[in-house]
Amino acid sequence: MMIYKIFRAEEWAALERDGETAGAPVDVADGFVHFSTAGQAAETAAKHFAGEDNLVLLALEAGSLGAALKWELSRGGALFPHLYRKLRLEDVLWSKPLPLRDGVHVFPGNMA
């Protein structure tokens, strides 16, 4: 199953440069890296990145993250994937720009 992380361009650049990251400031504060499923990603973008441009969408295979990935109750009682270790560049299957058009983030097709 694919899971997704939204990063600001500078956060993505830091991961590319350093090879690993504890995540965005919210991830560091919470003690884990927040992810979303394909069905949760648009709501995550709207709630936490409203009006922000220069975002990057990362895709990862949940099964490859092992026991460090936990599914926990969050927004509206839904289960969200949380990674309890640093995110490594090698974990990322692909990255794509997440453009903002008319105030809405445009996600790539075939995210499931």
Question: What's the rounded Cα separation, in Å, for the pair 11 and 108?
Answer: 20
- Does residue 30 form part of some domain? yes
Can you give the pLDDT at residue 110? 79
- Does residue 109 form part of some domain? no
**What range defines the domain where residue 74 resides?**
2-102
- Does residue 65 form part of some domain? yes
Can you give the pLDDT at residue 76? 81
- Does residue 110 form part of some domain? no
Quickly state the pLDDT bin for 41 (edges 50, 70, 90).
very high
- Does residue 59 form part of some domain? yes
Q: What is the pLDDT of residues 43-74, one digit of tens each?
A: 999 999 999 999 999 999 999 999 999 999 98
Say what the pTM is: 0.94
Q: Residue 75 pLDDT more than 80?
A: no
Tell me the average pLDDT of the chain: 95
Q: What is the pLDDT of residues 3-30, one digit of tens each?
A: 999 999 999 999 999 999 999 999 999 9
Residue 68's alpha-carbon distances to 9, 63, 81, in angstroms, are 25, 10, 10
Share of the chain above pLDDT 90, in %: 93
**In the chain, how many domains are there?**
1
Q: Residue 112 pLDDT more than 70?
A: no
Residue 87 maps to which CATH number? 3.20.170.20
